[in-house]
């Protein structure tokens, strides 16, 4: 099947280096501390952030506290061992806040109706990926003994849900006022019919070609997430990854615009200007 | 001094005392919410005890135990609780509404392009999405001339952190079964708000299966009413493709059906009922309760009423017992409120569809 026709247009009329249309909105779920909707073409995702708030697992708390106090006084050298061997929630959160994430897809998000919206392996894997990516950029040491929950709900899935979720989570964290070292933006790219393509949709994704998802910290110029499936030549891979990074930077400038606009609105509402 | 006396009297812990002090100094709402989270961990305030599932009965007047994690989430102080109850008694609620006034309703249709019909309803801060998908299927052997409808509600963890993982399952099943009771009638399919025989294509062989999916994105009380309104709006937005049946099929084979892309049938939703929940706080009933008001309720009755003013389903929730005359009174109040709600909802749906058509013509 031809994914790039001879004139150089893809199935939905985009150029190979063109991203889908981006749309974002902040403050959608009023009950959450921070929330955002992010749309990349037909992929629509809602992210809500609750936190920082008190940690949830309190059953082991008193035991751990006693143990840690004892070790601090008598044998501080053992403390490292304890922390590495028994990483219970409370002990881990001593140093910084715990970040938890859950990714769920709505029943109606895909073309065929999904039976089980949560708990399947793909959702668990994506939850883990988002958690690790966001944890890298949140300044967790500023909020010890607390917990941040990031919930991502996919309303419409048309390829690139992972990237849309990370972008939505960044906006939601910014809306919640949680200190981060930089924004995290993500974009995917692929290689079909001999051309690197930016921002694959569902049809192009299921074509069997490679799919490279990249997440970067734009200002610091560092890559935090890199995933690829299928196979690719090494020099082609460099091109595709570079293309994805350009896409991430474009998303970052859009996110910055949205955040600036939101701040101006907040300012005018509070009567600052 | 009086304030301090009150604090000691209700024996608040140190955390709560600190919170009350800082709230006088005007702490931001975010910190206040987190502080109230801290408070409710210290002293859970269980108001309505949930009934055992064995009490659930299958006929239409059911006593359903509604699990109330709500009062544990919202940590209200004694002063706030008295304020809510007193306001309701004086017909002036916390947000200025009268007892029988709804919050502003916003309806948006066609939000899920790949579904046959969809709608999003915002009732204040409560935000729900309903989608309808029509698929070809085989009818139930006991009802060969009727289609099938199944309703499933999912509570997203974006609404409440406690809905993470399997936490929202209890509430989801309660909402799904309440909606099925209200909209789908009895086991034989009789008395359903949706005309099931219109979904049949070939008797005994092929019919339409409607899958109605609800998603609770944000919950601030009165989720059942919002879901009922969203399902009604989604059904009025639903288009089912016309089907041509191959004429030369023998009686044993599965007939060939040709689903047309061009012609569509609009669904008839004039008989679909709306759901009105009346919450009893103290001696009075309120309509469209927020989460804080629901935490103060003694019991609630959800009535589903259609345009002709007939009752299509009834559910009573909450542990406190109600005098039968009060239930009849609540039903008549619900009927009175339903006329305004149905008119408002229909005008909102029509406006949303008109808006939808305009954007379609523009693009």
Residue of A nearest to B151 (CA): A107
Q: What is the per-residue pLDDT for A253?
A: 96
Greater confidence (B145 vs A158) lies with: A158
Rounded to a whole number of angstroms, the distance from the CA of B69 to the nearest CA of chain A is 16
Of A28, A151, A155, the CB nearest to B164: A151
Rounded to a whole number of angstroms, the distance from the CA of B30 to the nearest CA of chain A is 7
Q: What is the per-residue pLDDT for A64?
A: 58
The reply to whether residue A156 touches residue B113, judged by beta carbons under 8 angstroms, is: yes
Q: Is A119 on the interface with B (CB under 8 A)?
A: yes
Lowest mean pLDDT among B25-34, B162-171, B329-338: B25-34
- Percent of the residues in chain B that have a pLDDT greater than 90, as a whole number: 27
Among B38, B156, B216, B222, the strongest candidate for a mutation testing the A interface, having the largest count of A CBs within 10 A, is B156
- Residues in CB range of B195: below 8 A, 6 or more apart: B268, B271
Q: Which of A6-10, B40-44, B153-157 has the highest mean pLDDT?
A: B153-157
Residue B3 lies in a domain: no
Distance (Å, whole) CA B80 – CA B85: 9
Q: Is A32 on the interface with B (CB under 8 A)?
A: yes
- Cα–Cα–Cα angle for A169, B36, B22, rounded to 5 degrees: 110
Residue B234 lies in a domain: yes
Q: What is the per-residue pLDDT for B114?
A: 85
Exposed/middle/buried for residue A250 (C-beta within 10 Å: 0-12, 13-18, 19+):
middle
Q: What is the per-residue pLDDT for B212?
A: 92
- Percent of the residues in chain B that have a pLDDT greater than 70, as a whole number: 72
pLDDT < 70: residue spans in chain A: 57-93, 114-118, 273
Whether pLDDT at B16 is above 60: no
Residue B275 lies in a domain: yes
Q: What is the per-residue pLDDT for B322?
A: 85
Contact B257, B269 (CB under 8 A): no
Distance (Å, whole) CA A258 – CA A27: 12
The DSSP string of B94-157 is TTS--TT-PPPEEEEE---TTSSEEEEEEETTEEEEEEEEEEEEPPPTTSTT--EEEEEEEE-T
Greater confidence (B361 vs A254) lies with: A254
Whether pLDDT at B95 is above 50: yes
Q: Is A239 on the interface with B (CB under 8 A)?
A: no
Q: What is the per-residue pLDDT for A59?
A: 45
For the record, the structure tokens of B205 come out as: 């062989």
Distance (Å, whole) CA B178 – CA B273: 13
Which pLDDT tens digit goes with each residue over B106-118? 999 989 888 889 9
pTM of the model: 0.80
Chain B partners within 8 Å of A106 (Cβ): 129, 131, 154, 156, 213, 215
Residue B101 lies in a domain: yes
**φ and ψ at B327, to 5 degrees?**
-60, -45
Exposed/middle/buried for residue A208 (C-beta within 10 Å: 0-12, 13-18, 19+):
exposed
- Residues in CB range of A123: below 8 A, 6 or more apart: A103, A104, A105
Q: Is A99 on the interface with B (CB under 8 A)?
A: no
Rounded to a whole number of angstroms, the distance from the CA of B157 to the nearest CA of chain A is 6
The DSSP string of B248-282 is T--SSSPPPEEEEEEEEEE---TT--EEEEEEEET
Rounded to a whole number of angstroms, the distance from the CA of A29 to the nearest CA of chain B is 6
The DSSP string of chain A is --SB-TTS-BTTS--TTPPPPEEEEE--STTSSEEEEEEETTEEEEEEEEEEEE-S--TTHHHHHHHHHHHHHH-HHHHHHHHHH---HHHHTTTS-EEEEEEEE-TTSSSSPPS--SSSHHHHHHHHHHHHHHHHHB-GGGSTTEEEEEEEEEEE-SS-HHHHHHHHHHHHHHHHT--BSS--EEEEEEEETTEEEES--HHHHTTSS-EEEEEEETTTTEEEEEEEES---HHHHHHHHHHHHHHHHHHHHHHHHHHHHHHHHHHHHHT--
Exposed/middle/buried for residue A145 (C-beta within 10 Å: 0-12, 13-18, 19+):
middle
Q: What is the per-residue pLDDT for A162?
A: 93
The reply to whether residue A149 touches residue B164, judged by beta carbons under 8 angstroms, is: yes
Whether pLDDT at B263 is above 80: no
Whether pLDDT at B31 is above 80: no
Q: Is A38 on the interface with B (CB under 8 A)?
A: no
Distance (Å, whole) CA A161 – CA A40: 9
ipTM: 0.82
Of B125, B161, B164, the CB nearest to A30: B125
The band of B194, judged by pLDDT with boundaries at 50, 70 and 90, is confident
User: How many CA atoms are closer than 13 Å to the CA of A22, on its beta-carbon side?
Assistant: 24
Q: What is the per-residue pLDDT for A254?
A: 96
Whether pLDDT at B207 is above 60: yes
Q: How many domains is chain B partitioned into structurally?
A: 1
| Mean pLDDT, all residues of chain B | 77
Summarize the confidence of residues B299-328 as an average pLDDT: 87
Whether pLDDT at B3 is above 80: no
Chain A partners within 8 Å of B30 (Cβ): 33, 176-177
Domain span at B181: 10-34+50-362
Q: What is the per-residue pLDDT for A40?
A: 94
Q: What is the per-residue pLDDT for B185?
A: 72
Residue B41 lies in a domain: no
Rounded to a whole number of angstroms, the distance from the CA of A101 to the nearest CA of chain B is 9
Contact B109, B356 (CB under 8 A): yes
Residue B303 lies in a domain: yes
B297: domain CATH number is 3.30.230.70
Residue of A nearest to B73 (CA): A31
Tokens 């806040």 belong to which residue? A97
Rg (CA), chain A: 21
Residue B4 lies in a domain: no
Q: What is the per-residue pLDDT for A88?
A: 60
Q: Which of A125-134, B175-184, B252-261 has the highest mean pLDDT?
A: A125-134
Residue B43 lies in a domain: no
């Amino acid at each position: 099947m031809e994914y790039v026709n001879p004139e150089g247009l893809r199935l939905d009329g985009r150029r190979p280096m063109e991203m889908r249309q981006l749309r974002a909105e902040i403050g959608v779920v009023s009950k959450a501390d921070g929330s955002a909707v992010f749309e990349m073409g037909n992929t629509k995702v809602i992210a809500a952030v609750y936190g920082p708030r008190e940690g949830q697992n309190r059953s082991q708390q008193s035991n751990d506290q006693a143990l840690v106090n004892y070790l601090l006084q008598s044998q501080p050298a053992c403390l490292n061992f304890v922390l590495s061997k028994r990483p219970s929630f409370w002990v881990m959160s001593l140093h910084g806040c715990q970040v938890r994430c859950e990714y769920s897809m709505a029943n109606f998000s895909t073309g065929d109706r999904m039976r089980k919206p949560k708990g399947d392996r793909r959702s668990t894997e994506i939850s883990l990926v988002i958690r690790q990516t966001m944890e890298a950029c949140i300044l967790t040491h500023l909020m010890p003994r607390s917990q941040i929950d990031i919930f991502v709900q996919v309303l419409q899935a048309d390829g690139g849900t992972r990237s849309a979720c990370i972008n939505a989570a960044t906006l939601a964290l910014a809306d919640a006022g949680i200190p981060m070292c930089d924004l995290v933006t993500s974009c995917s790219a692929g290689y079909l019919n001999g051309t690197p393509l930016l921002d694959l949709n569902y049809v192009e994704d299921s074509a069997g070609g490679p799919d490279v998802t990249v997440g970067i910290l734009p200002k610091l110029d560092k890559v935090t997430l890199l995933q690829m499936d299928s196979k690719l030549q090494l020099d082609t891979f460099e091109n595709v990854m570079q293309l994805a990074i350009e896409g991430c930077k474009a998303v970052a400038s859009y996110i910055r615009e949205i955040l600036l606009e939101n701040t101006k609105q907040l300012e005018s509402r509070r009567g600052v200007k | 001094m009086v304030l301090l006396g009150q604090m000691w009297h209700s024996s608040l812990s140190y955390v709560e005392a600190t919170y009350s002090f800082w709230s006088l100094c005007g702490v931001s709402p975010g910190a206040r919410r987190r502080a109230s989270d801290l408070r409710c961990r210290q002293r859970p305030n269980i108001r309505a005890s949930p009934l055992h599932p064995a009490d659930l009965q299958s006929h239409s007047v059911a006593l359903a135990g509604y699990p109330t994690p709500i009062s544990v989430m919202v940590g209200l102080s004694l002063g706030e609780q008295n304020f809510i109850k007193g306001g309701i008694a004086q017909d002036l609620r916390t947000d200025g509404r009268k007892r029988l006034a709804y919050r502003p309703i916003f309806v948006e249709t066609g939000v899920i392009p790949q579904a046959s019909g969809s709608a999003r309803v915002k009732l204040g801060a409560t935000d729900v999405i309903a989608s309808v998908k029509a698929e070809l299927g085989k009818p139930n052997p006991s009802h060969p001339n009727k289609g099938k409808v199944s309703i499933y509600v999912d509570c997203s963890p974006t609404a409440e952190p406690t809905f993470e993982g399997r936490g929202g399952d209890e509430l989801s099943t309660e909402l799904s079964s309440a909606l099925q009771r209200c909209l789908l009638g009895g086991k034989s399919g009789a008395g359903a708000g949706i005309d099931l025989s219109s979904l049949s294509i070939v008797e005994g062989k092929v019919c339409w299966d409607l899958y109605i999916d609800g998603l609770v994105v944000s919950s601030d009380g009165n989720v059942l009413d919002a879901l009922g309104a969203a399902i009604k709006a989604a059904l009025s937005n639903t288009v089912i493709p016309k089907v041509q049946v191959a004429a030369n099929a023998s009686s044993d084979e599965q007939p060939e059906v040709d689903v047309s892309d061009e012609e569509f049938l609009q669904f008839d939703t004039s008989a679909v009922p709306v759901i009105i929940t009346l919450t009893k706080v103290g001696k009075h009933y309120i309509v469209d309760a927020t989460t804080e008001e629901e935490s103060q309720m003694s019991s609630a009755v959800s009535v589903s009423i259609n345009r002709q003013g007939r009752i299509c389903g009834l559910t009573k929730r909450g542990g406190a017992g109600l005098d039968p005359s009060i239930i009849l009174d609540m039903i008549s109040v619900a009927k009175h409120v339903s006329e305004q709600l149905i008119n408002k909802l229909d005008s909102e749906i029509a406006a949303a569809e008109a808006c939808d058509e305009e954007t379609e013509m523009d693009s």
